[in-house]
Structure 1
Amino acid sequence: MGGHPSRVASVACEGSLLSAFLDTNVIIRHLTGEPPAMAKRATELLASEPDLILADLVVAECVYVLESFYEVERAHVAALLRAAIALPAIRVDDSALLLRALERYEHARLDFADAYLVASAELTGVGAVVSFDKAIDRISSVERIAL
């Protein structure tokens, strides 16, 4: 499969069970529709319901690409990624964590990395984040430990 995307798409489209990690570019192509030929292949793959693993790091990179390159508004970025996470073809390690991080990113106006740390602190019961970033102070459920 290495380096041959049409092989991945053809395996998935034939109905065979495919277990693989998704790269950022596949999600971005699906969400943006650009370029059209790649977007079509990405969307077909995601619609074929194979077992595709979406790593948390890829979600973070998708946030960055959508914000910086495509200039998508924060609320729309969060909505797009929530929809991607909900696709039947996609499996994530901890959907509650990713969804909470997207919520914090969208509504608390934290960058995604900080939102992910805050969500992790909330959901694990740790309740604290060591950071120089004062924006975390806006979150009452988590203590920022300042250095």
Structure 2
Amino acid sequence: MSGERRASAVDESRRAVIDTNLLVRYLTEDDPSKANDVKRLLLKAAQDEVRLLIPSVVIAELVWVLQSFYKLERSEIVPLLNAIVHTHGVEVSDKSVVSGAIALYRDSAMDFIDAWIVAFAEEAEVRSIYTFDRRHFKGIDGIEMMHP
């Protein structure tokens, strides 16, 4: 596992985890000074001076913040998420699940967390989800919604 992560040209000591608030400042530019700080950090990552790690939970929190506080629509959020996930020098944990959740969120009426659950099930090759909220998962092919 660590060999896979060390494939980057970035020295192990130059890796760092980033928090949701950095992405919020960068994407919303509500604090121009902080947005510029994050932009410089992302440029360092793009130049392999640092490797930025984003825990997948940060992506989920980012969606919640952008929807709840900034009132962005999913059509505005999806391109932002895709840009983050595909930024050179940025490593998102559970990238295939995150990408699947973004696609489901884009293509359905599901909220992001429900899309995440479906993407996780698909990645794990599980075809059943136990839930009390069957209506949240309507129209998902190949996944059976079950009641406990």
User: TM-score scaled to structure 2, two decimals?
Assistant: 0.83
Shift of residue 141 of structure 1? 2.1
Alignment of 1:18-97 (within 5 A): 18-49=14-45, 50-97=50-97
Counterpart in the other structure of 1:104 = 104
2:138 aligned with 1:137: yes
Instruction: Give, in angstroms, the shift of residue 108 of structure 1.
Output: 1.4
Q: Distance in 2 between matches of 1:102 and 1:56?
A: 12
Letter matched to residue 142 of structure 2: S
Q: Distance in 1 between the 2:34 and 2:87 partners? A: 18
- The SS at the match of 1:48 is helix
1-structure distance, mates of 2:92, 2:73 = 24
**Distance in 2 between residues matched to 1:141 and 1:37, nearest whole Å:** 47
Aligned residues: 133
Kindly provide the CA deviation profile for residues 121-146 of structure 1, in whole angstroms up to 9, marking residues without a partner as x: 11211112111112213211211112
Q: Percent identity?
A: 32
DSSP-derived class of the 1:138 partner: coil
Question: Does the aligned pair in 2 maintain the 1:137–1:143 contact within 8 Å?
Answer: no
- Aligned mates of 1:79, 1:119 — CA distance in 2: 18
> Which consecutive unaligned segments of at least 5 residues does structure 1 have?
1-14
How far the C-alpha of 1:107 sits from its partner, in A, is 1.4
Tell me the secondary structure at the aligned position of residue 84 of structure 2: helix
Tell me how far apart the structure 2 counterparts of residues 18 and 120 of structure 1 sit (CA, whole Å).
Answer: 30
Distance in 1 (alpha carbons) for counterparts of 2:120 and 2:61: 18
Aligned-pair CA distance for 1:37: 0.3
Do structure 1's residue 117 and structure 2's residue 117 form an aligned pair? yes
Aligned-pair Cα RMSD in Å? 1.6
Instruction: In structure 1, give the amino acid aligned to 2:139.
Output: R
